[in-house]
Structure 1
Amino acid sequence: MKKTSIAAAALALCGLWAAGSAQAEGHYVPGVEGMQAASVPPPGMYYLGYLVNYNIDDFRAPGSSSNLPGHNRGTVTALANRFVWVTNYKLLGADYGVEAIVPIMRTSLTINAAGISDSRSGVGDVYLGPLVLGWHGPQWDAVAAAGMWFDTASTSHPASPGKGFKSTMLTGGLTYYFDGAKTLSGAALARYEFNGRNDAGRRPGDQLTLEWSLGKSFGAVSAGLVGYSQWQTTNDSGTGATSDKSARHAVGAELVYPVPGAGVFLKGALYKEVSAKAGTGPEPKGSLLRFSLVKAF
């Protein structure tokens, strides 16, 4: 890579990490939902805790699938606290609910290509979802939802937890059971983010996330294949923006174990990103380990 290209990549990287997250575009972190991702629980109050560790092996250079030069690594550990209330009311034939997500994050970055070495902890941008709809059929479940990510978190340092802009997120998905006993399932969950502008006038391109799974239950325990893909669907705009769009794809495995009598489900999944392409700014590529706890009240 020429020196001018390295300098351009470093400047773009500084601008990216001023937004404060491992994902280059959008708020939603892929891989937090796995098997039966589109199945809304019955009416009640629920807490879902997602403990995620994203280990960054390298960074793709802007506009390519090649790595930035030098030693560039990062780790993001987050606990996303999700609160869901599924009411007894019906809307369009579906159970109606609301939700909120409050993430707590720890980010460590060592990016020699941009001269960055930083670690920060804090509360990330908060999500409020006033619309959650869950439908249930004999061998299928479906979901539709809408909400907004707010720019509530700090963006003052490269590893700060905030994105610096708001996003409107729409969700839709389907879980299908291939047998009447519901022991074999397939699921797909799509989330689309309409990203806003930050204080500097830069607007990241919109983002589409697709999470998928194929699972099998063995009595109380379930296991299966999981994966995710993310695509930037529109161009970035503002200073330094290009027509390059980012993308990433990952595959993995998940295990689900219920705790009888406690109303608790424990889930664990490991994803490996098999490809990543950077857009205007550098794009991380690595592996994601996720543990989830679902508690019904």
Structure 2
Amino acid sequence: MKVTHIASAAALALLAATGAQADGHYVPGVEGMQGPSVPPAGMYYLGYLVNYSIDSLRAPGSSKVPGHNTGTVTALANRFVWVTNHKLLGADYGMEAIVPVMRTSLTFNTPGVSDSRSGVGDVYLGPLVLGWHGPQWDAVAAAGLWLDNASDSHPASPGKGFKSTMLTGGLTYYFDGAKTLSGSALARYEFNSKNDDGFRPGQQLTVEWGLGKSFGAFSAGVVGYSQWQTSDDKGPGATTDRARRHAVGAELVYPIAGAGVFLKAAAYKEFSVRNNTKGSLVRFTLVKAF
């Protein structure tokens, strides 16, 4: 599942502090167990309520930037998915759109940033979602575009200021025939365009993973994510310092079968960050089938 990058303003403020640059749109941690499994044909609403709490800024060498540098970013990403009855390359064909609403508050003493903003973030349009299903596996491939519709005029503004093309691929494998034990990995790759100042952030790879176990009415497991900047920034103010982050956490999933609803909750702690913000993330997800 995709959502706009809730730490975009923090990354921009970090630019002033350490020379780090803004990264892509996708925020890791919004997908967990069985993230690559596309649902059956139908219409779906997915609401992601995410809170990212920033506890420090990290320099290119992973050291903590001196001073009091904290912030909170809260986002509600409204995702609309339509999985059709049509087949493409042997897969179920679908499409999707995401409209995020964000609230960002930053207090970064080192770069001298104190700002709070709310608004609609950059919208994602995904005309291609492909879902394959085997006896003990699911796979996904997708492609779409992050727009630059949102404001980016202040440090805490919800927009990134540039477009991004995002490609997705992933696999869920079930270790038993009853599908009670699963392992999954989902990869996103972003190609970023230039902003109005001619600056182009480097490309970004995100990998989210999960190991889950079903316990009758609910499922629980261990989840995590890693994110790497894979190419150098280009344009005014660009450096060769690349960003990366790693986190681990836990997830709980509870279905309400009669209402066609899934409820999910997850918490992550970032344990290694370079050239970006470092903190913790809490996510609540509601999935409703129509």
Could you tell me which residue of structure 2 aligns to residue 13 of structure 1?
16
State the alpha-carbon separation in 2 of the partners of residues 251 and 11 from structure 1.
Answer: 23
**Retained in 1: the 8 A contact 2:124–2:147?**
yes
Superposed CA deviations along residues 132-191 of structure 1, whole A, max 9, x for unmatched, are 000000000000000000000001111000000000000000000000000000000000
Which among 67, 84, 88 is matched to residue 85 of structure 2? 88
How far apart are 1:220 and its partner, in Å?
A: 1.6
Aligned amino acid, residue 166 of structure 2:
M
Which among 59, 69, 74 is matched to residue 71 of structure 2? 74
- Say yes or no: does 1:289 pair with 2:287: no
How far apart are 1:244 and its partner, in Å?
A: 1.2
Aligned amino acid, residue 202 of structure 2:
G
Could you tell me which residue of structure 2 aligns to residue 25 of structure 1?
23
State the alpha-carbon separation in 2 of the partners of residues 14 and 284 from structure 1.
Answer: 11
Aligned amino acid, residue 62 of structure 2:
S
State the alpha-carbon separation in 2 of the partners of residues 53 and 43 from structure 1.
Answer: 31
How far apart are 1:88 and its partner, in Å?
A: 0.2
Which among 129, 146, 149 is matched to residue 146 of structure 2? 149
Structure 1, unaligned runs of 5 or more: 1-8
Q: Which deviates more from structure 2 when the two are superposed, residues 234-243 or residues 163-172?
A: 234-243
State the alpha-carbon separation in 2 of the partners of residues 250 and 46 from structure 1.
Answer: 28
What are the residue-to-residue correspondences of 1:1-297 with 2, within 5 Å?
12-13=15-16, 24-61=22-59, 63-278=60-275, 283-297=276-290
SS at match of 2:178: coil
SS at match of 1:256: strand
**Retained in 1: the 8 A contact 2:161–2:196?**
yes
**Retained in 1: the 8 A contact 2:13–2:113?**
no
- How many residues matched? 279
Aligned amino acid, residue 65 of structure 1:
S
Structure 2, unaligned runs of 5 or more: 1-11
SS at match of 1:237: coil
How far apart are 1:260 and its partner, in Å?
A: 2.8
State the alpha-carbon separation in 1 of the partners of residues 129 and 212 from structure 2.
Answer: 24
The structure-2 alpha-carbon separation of the partners of 1:42 and 1:11, relative to structure 1 and needing over 3 Å to count, comes to: closer
TM-score calculated relative to the size of structure 2: 0.94
State the alpha-carbon separation in 2 of the partners of residues 189 and 16 from structure 1.
Answer: 30
**Retained in 1: the 8 A contact 2:85–2:92?**
yes
State the alpha-carbon separation in 2 of the partners of residues 58 and 101 from structure 1.
Answer: 29
State the alpha-carbon separation in 1 of the partners of residues 242 and 151 from structure 2.
Answer: 26
Q: Aligned-residue CA RMSD in angstroms?
A: 1.7
**Retained in 2: the 8 A contact 1:170–1:192?**
yes
How far apart are 1:114 and its partner, in Å?
A: 1.2
How far apart are 1:64 and its partner, in Å?
A: 2.0
State the alpha-carbon separation in 2 of the partners of residues 16 and 122 from structure 1.
Answer: 27
State the alpha-carbon separation in 2 of the partners of residues 77 and 277 from structure 1.
Answer: 22
Could you tell me which residue of structure 1 aligns to residue 7 of structure 2?
none
State the alpha-carbon separation in 1 of the partners of residues 24 and 249 from structure 2.
Answer: 22
